[in-house]
A and B are shown apart, each in its own frame.
Chain A
Amino acid sequence: MLDENELWLLSFYRSSEISGSLFFGRLARSMKPSAIQADMTKHFSDEAQHAWFWTSCIDSLGAKPIKLSSAYQDQYLTAAGAPSNMMEILAITQIFEKRVVNQYARHSQIPTIHPTVRETLSRIMVDEKWHIQWIHEALQAMEPQYGKDLITQTLKRFWEADREVYLKTTQEHEQRLTHLVR
């Protein structure tokens, strides 16, 4: 059975995967045909599947997802501001995905973690690493359009926002993870 802190964390992961899926789904639907459109469609599909993995994981552990109004993405948009073009969307997503992989890796290292939760984290992390890779390649491909310097500056700006999110809004995650280690 999940304790309150773990149920909250898994519900937050689920909520964030749903938000990511909805966002990328809308973008993938409106984009013109391109390599980015194809990868974004796969990304959207992955995030939707991850939301299902978390729903199924929580259910199999005898609980129900908590309805949460916020997701990781909201925290990033608040800290970094809304992106205005595809390059900025991919840059902020790149930073965000790295943070998610880091968070999932830390969660999976908790000694008392339930095997179902660890298995779900592991399955999702495989996809998340691919997300980081395709976005990295897409940003490289955008260098002729936006310029390498602007892309580098944009990533740097979003890294700074990430630190702000990490320091402020993820404190609750830290507290809940720390509680699980005890």
Chain B
Amino acid sequence: MFDKDAVKEKIASFLKQPISRLQDDALLTNLVVESFILVEMIIELQDDFGVQLVQEDMRDVKTVGQLTELLVSRGKAAASHA
């Protein structure tokens, strides 16, 4: 199991940015210089936390808070099925 702080730590580490910049309402697109980096980060987070997302899941994810919530809820769902 993991929580939002754990996800934010991974995001901060990947983006090499202080965690203080990762407010829940921070737009993901404002944190990267090109969209490819965002794609790479989403894939790495799935690997790190053992969850699987599809494009449809990401449709309404625009902010750090939305992304961390999605990953945490998927992690909980995966744990409850294990």
Does more than half of chain A's interface fall in helix, strand or loop, or is it mixed?
A: helix
Residues of chain A lying within 8 A (CB to CB) of residue B40: 26-27, 30
Q: Nearest CB to that of B53 among chain A residues? A: A84
Known contacts A32-B47, A85-B46, A26 near B53 by CB under 8 Å:
no
Report yes or no: A30 in contact with B44, Cβ–Cβ below 8 A.
yes
What DSSP secondary structure best describes chain B's contact surface?
helix
Please report the number of residue pairs spanning A and B whose Cβ atoms sit closer than 8 angstroms. 49
For the complex, is A77 an interface residue (Cβ under 8 Å from B)? yes
Please give, as numbers and ranges, the residues of chain A lying within 8 Å of B53 by CB-CB distance: 84-85
Question: Is A83 touching B55 in the complex (CB atoms < 8 A)?
Answer: yes
With contact pairs A30-B44, A85-B43 given, residues A23 and B36 touching in the complex (Cβ less than 8 Å): yes
Tell me, in angstroms, the Cα distance from A86 to B47 when the chains sit together: 10
- The number of residues on chain B lying at the interface, defined by a beta carbon within 8 Å of a beta carbon of chain A, is 18
Cα A23 to Cα B41 with chains together (Å): 12
Docked complex: A65-110 residues within 8 A CB-CB of B: 73, 77, 81-86, 88-89
Chain A contributes a number of interface residues (CB within 8 A of B) equal to 20
Contacts of A88 in B (CB 8 A): 54-55
Is B42 on the interface with A (CB-CB < 8 A)?
yes
- The answer to whether A150 has its CB under 8 Å from any CB of chain B is yes
Q: Which 4 residue pairs of A and B lie closest in terms of their CB atoms, listed nearest first?
A: A84-B58, A84-B53, A84-B55, A23-B36
Q: Which residues of B contact A (CB under 8 A)?
A: 35-40, 42-44, 46-47, 52-55, 57-59
Given A23-B36, A32-B47, A84-B39, 19 more contacts at CB 8 Å?
Answer: A19-B36, A23-B39, A26-B36, A26-B37, A26-B40, A27-B43, A81-B55, A82-B55, A83-B39, A83-B55, A84-B42, A84-B54, A85-B43, A85-B46, A85-B53, A85-B54, A88-B54, A89-B39, A150-B54
